[in-house]
A and B are shown apart, each in its own frame.
Chain A
Amino acid sequence: MKNGPDHRTKNVLVEFLFRLGDDRLILGHRLSEWCGHAPILEEDIALANIALDLLGQASALLRLAGEIEGKNRAEDDLAYFREATQFTNLQLVEQPNGDFAFTIARLFFFSAFNNLLSERLQKSSIEALAGIAAKGFKESSYHLRHSKEWMLRLGNGTEESHQRMQIAVNELWRFTGEMLAFDEVEEKLQQQNVIPDLNPIAPKWNEIVAAVLTEATIIIPSHQKDGGQAGNHAVSGSRNGFHSEHLGHLLAEMQILARSYPDAKW
Chain B
Amino acid sequence: MEALDEIILLERFESRINAGEKIEPKDWMPERYRKQLIRMISQHAHSEVVGMLPEGNWITRAPSLRRKISLLAKVQDEAGHGMYLYSAAETLDVDRRELIEQLLSGQAKYSHIFNYPTLNWADIGVIGWFVDGAAIVNQTMLAKCSYGPYSRANLRICKEENFHKRQGYEIVATMAAGTTEQREMVQDAVNRWWWPSLMMFGPSDNESPNSAELLRWKVKLHSNDELRQRFVDLTVPQSQAVNITLPDPELRYDKKTQHWNFGKINWEEFWNVVKGNGPCNRERLAARQKADDDGAWVREAAVAYTMKRRMNR
Contact = CB atoms under 8 A, between A and B. Distances in A.
Q: Do the two chains bind?
A: yes
Interface of A: 25, 29, 32-33, 35-45, 48-49, 51-52, 55-56, 58-59, 62, 75-76, 79-80, 99-100, 152-154, 156-158, 160-161, 164, 253-254, 256-258, 261, 263-266
A164 B296 CA distance: 13
A257 B57 CA distance: 13
Contacts of B179: 261, 263-264
Contact of B294 (A44, A49, A99): A99
B72 A51 contact: yes
Contacts of B296: 39
Sorting the interface of chain B by its residue count into under 10, 10 to 19, 20 to 34 or 35 or more gives: 35 or more
Given A52-B69, A261-B182, A264-B178, A37 B287 contact: yes
Contacts of A258: 63-64
A66 B184 CA distance: 33
B60 A254 contact: yes
Interface centre among B83, B297, B304, by most chain A C-beta atoms within 10 angstroms, is: B297
Interface in B17-75: 49, 52-53, 56, 59-69, 72-73, 75
Contact of B301 (A45, A154, A253): A154
A185 to B, nearest CB: 24
Contacts of B49: 41
B182 A257 contact: no
Interface centre among A35, A45, A49, A55 (most CB of B within 10 A): A35
B92 interface: no
A100 B65 CA distance: 25
Nearest to B298: A39
A261 to B, nearest CB: 6
B163 interface: no
Contacts of A40: 295, 298-299
B278 interface: no
- A contacts with B: majority SS: helix
A39 B69 contact: no
Nearest to A164: B297
Contacts of B181: 261, 264
Interface in B147-198: 171, 174-175, 178-179, 181-182
25 contacts: A25-B65, A35-B56, A35-B59, A35-B72, A36-B287, A39-B299, A41-B82, A42-B83, A43-B295, A44-B52, A45-B80, A52-B72, A52-B76, A56-B69, A59-B66, A76-B64, A76-B66, A156-B304, A157-B302, A160-B300, A160-B301, A253-B60, A257-B121, A261-B181, A266-B174
Nearest to B65: A59
A265 B170 CA distance: 12
B96 to A, nearest CB: 8
B59 to A, nearest CB: 5
B68 A55 contact: yes
A25 to B, nearest CB: 8
Contacts of B300: 157-158, 160-161
B291 A253 contact: no
B308 interface: yes
A32 to B, nearest CB: 5
